[in-house]
């Protein structure tokens, strides 16, 4: 047991939006919950794994997770699935068909939109899926509503026999608020209902479901007008009325406390009658929504005169300051007043902060592969993927030419190689992908490489975790979500089973830098599919075994800067000097020091130091210890 599971019914607890959703899912009597980790949604399933009487499991990707949840629903058990916004792009095939067939027991899908692109490659608006799949969208504004709306979503799902989408955003997911919780329900287990005409999506069966979907749309629209999840926040100034949803509604209330607001809890289907009634009571209507103008367009299509993205920004969060500035411009004012600070909040100009671009961790096993690739930049094209190693595109490596979405490194490398075939056979193509990403969506790409005899070298960087989202488990780690032993994928056997020749598969210690460089340089010259697997765990997991820290002997350092190009954050430039070579050219020298408090003793920098100026911090230690 833990603090979350010990919260008593009727009590209040400080919960994040993700924790509040998890609590509501458990209270709703859900039996099966599946997800693939992705910020900002990751903590929902991590929290659910701490509750009893519920099977929480990581799926290998979002499509798999959603199909597991669908299967549980058809078997008569309430189920749940969570993902970030780009995850629904992967799961859409299952969503679109099951939206037509419907569900048996309640199924709720939480999609967390990364408004502002805190950790994502795009900023898409998941409310589109409601319109696309004819499914209701509930949009909580804070943690208490995340809890309340999740419970309401299960009732709505079973009332209309369809999945319900809970649209979260980064702010709702991660900001904490006081939440009043209840007790776990025990809904009836319906069991599987045999109905092939409904569950088997043959074209003839699917066609017969279309009229029922139309009838459901009409019923959902009526329900939307009646739902208590949509409320009116009163205001005395009737010159302007706001229609808002999610956390933007709370920002709007703080920015304009005297303006009436129609706060939408269900944003699809829209409560058109309530919207018309609200609009008739104010002079002008402004739609406040993050990020796309979906509600704005729907209302204009319905003949309502509203403003929206012609006043407000289309991208990023609609904070209090953003809204105040927009309203000032709308009113023809020269500048917006940020307004008085809340009690206890220190106001003033933002302090100047030294820029700190994201980088890999000290001793990260991905440092050496990108160091090697940076030395081969003139000889190779590098297709990257989504994960910590995407940082290989940055300084000092600059060793990535493309990066689009999860799993695309291998398939895009295939296209790069196919397009230049016969033009420059000496120029190799390398695909870089992580272990969890490979299992998520990379295996099909490798199979395609082999089948089409592509000339690509795949670097599979196995650090035994889903590192970028916080170190979750997956089928390649050997552990389940609760830390229990689980079957572990054998990558060598797997890629060979896909058809990669045994002599073209190499497992390399990434800290053994000369060996790694030699294997990469050799394989990019071989005109067939190669796979290079690195095999050291993420330094932030308990599977990593640190080694004695290192230091730079200052008097022996020549300022060559070789160790600095590894990119390890533990290595710093202590001073710079300009030297003149024998030929009269000037050269900048960068003398290094190692912050031994951060050094993990990985030994990679030692391999780059010609004068052997990097030694153990403690002379009794030896830097070249065997690693696990």
Q: Using only C-alpha atoms, what is the Rg of the chain?
A: 28
Q: Does residue 354 have a pLDDT over 80?
A: no
Q: How far apart are CA 126 and CA 136, in angstroms?
A: 12
Q: What is the mean pLDDT of the chain?
A: 90
Q: Does residue 169 have a pLDDT over 60?
A: yes
The pLDDT value given to residue 627: 37
438 is written with which tokens? Answer: 């490979």
Q: Picking from 289-303, 344-358, 465-479, which range would have the lowest pLDDT averaged per residue?
A: 344-358
Annotation-wise, does 602 bind a ligand? yes
pLDDT confidence bin for 244, thresholds 50/70/90: very high
Match 């933002």 to its residue by tokens. 350
Taking only the tens place, the pLDDT of each residue in 363-391 is 999 999 999 999 998 889 999 999 999 99
pLDDT confidence bin for 546, thresholds 50/70/90: confident
Q: For the stretch 314-328, what's the b/e string if a residue is b when 16 or more beta carbons lie within 10 angstroms of its beta carbon?
A: eeebbbbebbbbbbe
**CB of 373 closer than 8 Å to CB of 345:** no
The fraction of the chain above a pLDDT of 90, given in percent, is 74
Q: Does residue 2 have a pLDDT over 70?
A: no
513 is written with which tokens? Answer: 């830098």
552 is written with which tokens? Answer: 């730079």
Q: How far apart are CA 408 and CA 160, in angstroms?
A: 37
Which CATH number does 550-616 carry? 3.30.70
All structural domains of the chain with their residue ranges: 12-226, 231-330, 367-534, 550-616
Annotation-wise, does 538 bind a ligand? no
pLDDT confidence bin for 340, thresholds 50/70/90: very low
Say which residue, 598 or 424, is predicted with more confidence: 598
Name the class of domain 12-226: alpha beta
367-534 matches 12-226 in CATH topology: yes
The pLDDT value given to residue 439: 95
Q: Using CA of residue 243, residue 248, residue 254, residue 256, what is the dihedral sign?
A: negative
**CB of 235 closer than 8 Å to CB of 269:** no
Q: Which residues contact 288 (CB under 8 A, 6 or more apart)?
A: 242, 243, 244, 245, 248, 249, 251, 252, 308, 312, 318, 323
Q: Which residues contact 213 (CB under 8 A, 6 or more apart)?
A: 99, 100, 134
Annotation-wise, does 599 bind a ligand? yes
Q: Picking from 495-499, 531-535, 563-567, which range would have the lowest pLDDT averaged per residue?
A: 563-567
Annotation-wise, does 563 bind a ligand? yes
Taking only the tens place, the pLDDT of each residue in 413-450 is 999 988 876 665 556 899 999 999 999 999 999 999 99
152 is written with which tokens? Answer: 């309401």
Taking only the tens place, the pLDDT of each residue in 499-541 is 999 999 999 999 999 999 999 999 999 999 999 999 999 999 9
Q: How far apart are CA 592 and CA 575, in angstroms?
A: 7
CA torsion angle 374 380 385 390 (round to 10): 20
**What value does the mean pLDDT take over residues 332-343?**
53
Annotation-wise, does 568 bind a ligand? yes
Name the class of domain 231-330: alpha beta
**CB of 291 closer than 8 Å to CB of 266:** no
pLDDT confidence bin for 350, thresholds 50/70/90: low
Closest alpha carbon to 17 in 125, 121, 115: 115
The pLDDT value given to residue 236: 87
**What value does the mean pLDDT take over residues 268-291?**
95
The pLDDT value given to residue 338: 46
Q: Does residue 624 have a pLDDT over 80?
A: no
- What DSSP line would sit under 161-220, residue for residue? TS-EEEEEEHHHHH-EEEEE---------------HHHHS--HHHHHHHHHHHHHHHHHH
Task: Give the phi and the psi of residue 492 in degrees, each rounded to 5.
Answer: -65, -50
The fraction of the chain above a pLDDT of 70, given in percent, is 93
Annotation-wise, does 557 bind a ligand? yes
CA torsion angle 170 175 176 182 (round to 10): -20
Assigned architecture for domain 367-534: 3-Layer(aba) Sandwich (3.40)
CA torsion angle 470 476 480 485 (round to 10): -130
Q: Using CA of residue 246, residue 250, residue 251, residue 257, what is the dihedral sign?
A: positive
C-alpha atoms less than 13 angstroms from C-alpha of 203 in its C-beta half-sphere: 0
């Amino acid at each position: 047991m833990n603090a979350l599971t010990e919260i008593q019914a009727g009590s209040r607890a400080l919960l994040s939006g993700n924790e509040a959703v998890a609590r509501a899912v458990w209270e709703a009597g859900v039996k099966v919950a599946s997800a693939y980790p992705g910020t900002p949604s990751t903590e929902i399933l991590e929290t659910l794994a701490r509750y009893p009487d519920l099977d929480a499991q990581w799926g290998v990707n979002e499509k798999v997770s959603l199909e597991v949840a669908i299967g549980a629903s058809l078997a008569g058990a309430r189920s749940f699935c969570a993902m970030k916004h780009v995850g629904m792009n992967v799961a859409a095939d299952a969503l679109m068909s099951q939206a037509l067939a419907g569900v048996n027991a309640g199924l709720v899908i939480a999609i967390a939109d990364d408004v502002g692109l805190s950790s994502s490659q795009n900023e898409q608006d998941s409310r589109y899926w409601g319109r696309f799949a004819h499914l209701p969208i509930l949009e909580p504004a804070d943690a208490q509503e995340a809890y309340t709306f999740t419970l309401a979503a299960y009732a709505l799902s079973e009332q209309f026999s369809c999945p319900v989408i809970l649209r979260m955003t980064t702010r709702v997911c991660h900001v904490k608020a006081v939440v009043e919780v209840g007790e776990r329900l025990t809904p009836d287990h319906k069991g599987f209902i045999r109905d092939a005409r409904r569950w088997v999506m043959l074209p003839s069966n699917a066609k017969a479901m279309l009229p029922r979907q139309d009838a459901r749309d009409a019923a959902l629209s009526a329900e939307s007008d009646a739902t208590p999840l949509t409320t009116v926040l009163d205001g005395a100034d009737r010159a302007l009325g706001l229609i808002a949803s999610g956390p933007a509604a709370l920002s709007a209330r703080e920015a304009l406390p005297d303006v009436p607001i129609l706060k939408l809890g269900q944003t699809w289907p829209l409560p058109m009658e309530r919207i018309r009634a609200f609009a008739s009571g104010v002079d002008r209507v402004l739609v406040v929504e993050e990020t796309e103008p979906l509600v704005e367009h729907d209302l204009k299509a319905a003949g309502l005169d509203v403003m929206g993205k012609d006043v407000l920004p289309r991208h990023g969060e609609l904070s209090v300051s953003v809204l105040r500035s927009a309203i000032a411009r709308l009113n023809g004012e020269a500048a917006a007043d940020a307004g008085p600070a809340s009690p206890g909040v220190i106001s003033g100009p933002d302090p100047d902060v030294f820029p700190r671009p994201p980088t890999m961790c000290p001793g990260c096993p991905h440092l050496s592969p990108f160091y090697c690739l940076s030395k081969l930049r003139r000889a190779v094209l590098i297709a990257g993927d989504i994960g910590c190693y995407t940082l290989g595109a940055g300084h000092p490596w600059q060793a990535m030419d493309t990066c689009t979405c999860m799993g695309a490194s291998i398939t895009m490398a295939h296209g790069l190689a196919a397009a230049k075939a016969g033009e420059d056979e000496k120029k190799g193509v390398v695909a870089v992908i992580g272990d969890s990403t490979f299992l998520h969506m990379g295996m099909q790409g490798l199979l395609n490489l082999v089948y089409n005899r592509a000339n690509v070298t795949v670097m599979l960087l196995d650090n035994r975790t889903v590192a970028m989202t916080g170190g979750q488990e997956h089928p390649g780690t050997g552990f389940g979500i609760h830390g229990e032993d689980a079957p572990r994928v054998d990558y060598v056997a797997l890629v060979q089973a896909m058809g990669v020749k045994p002599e073209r598969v190499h497992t390399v210690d990434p800290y053994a830098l000369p060996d790694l460089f030699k294997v990469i340089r050799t394989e990019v010259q071989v005109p067939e599919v190669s796979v290079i697997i690195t095999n050291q765990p993420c330094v932030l997991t308990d599977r990593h075994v640190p080694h004695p820290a290192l230091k730079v002997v200052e008097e022996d350092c020549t300022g060559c800067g070789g160790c600095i190009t590894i990119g390890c954050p533990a290595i710093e430039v202590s001073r710079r000097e300009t030297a003149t070579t024998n030929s009269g050219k000037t050269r900048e020298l960068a003398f290094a020091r190692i912050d031994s408090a951060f050094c993990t003793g990985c030994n990679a920098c030692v391999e780059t130091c010609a004068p052997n100026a990097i030694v153990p911090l403690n002379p009794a230690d030896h830097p070249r210890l065997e690693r696990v």
